[in-house]
């Protein structure tokens, strides 16, 4: 999986077409509500088979940070 593909899926998920770049700070673009937290963790769990919890997301700053964790934690390359 390329980061560009990941970005496209995130933009579709959050209806933010053209808003994300690899160095975008996720929380500056998407309001960090409990609903969006669940949406993101469920998306990652379902799409990439990576068991990530809401608290696990706190250290991530950019889209690329999140992408790297998914890539290293999943079998999708």
The full DSSP string for 32-46 is --HHHHHHHHHHHHH
Judged by phi (left if over 0) then psi (alpha if -120 to 50, else beta), residue 6 lies in alpha
DSSP label at residue 25? B
Q: Could you give the percent of the chain with pLDDT greater than 90?
A: 52
Please give the Cα distance from 10 to 21 (Å, whole number). Answer: 11
pTM (two decimals): 0.84
Task: Give the residue extent of every domain in the chain.
Answer: 3-73
First to last CA, the chain: 5
Q: What confidence tens digit (pLDDT) does each residue in 33-55 have?
A: 889 889 999 999 999 999 888 88
**Top CATH class, 3-73:** mainly alpha
């Amino acid at each position: 999986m390329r980061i560009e593909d990941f970005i496209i899926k995130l933009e579709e998920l959050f209806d933010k077409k053209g808003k994300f770049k690899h160095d975008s700070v996720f929380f500056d673009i998407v309001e960090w509500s409990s609903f969006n937290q669940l949406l993101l963790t469920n998306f990652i769990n379902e799409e990439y088979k990576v068991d990530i919890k809401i608290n696990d997301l706190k250290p991530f700053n950019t889209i690329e940070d999140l992408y790297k964790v998914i890539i290293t934690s999943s079998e999708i390359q």
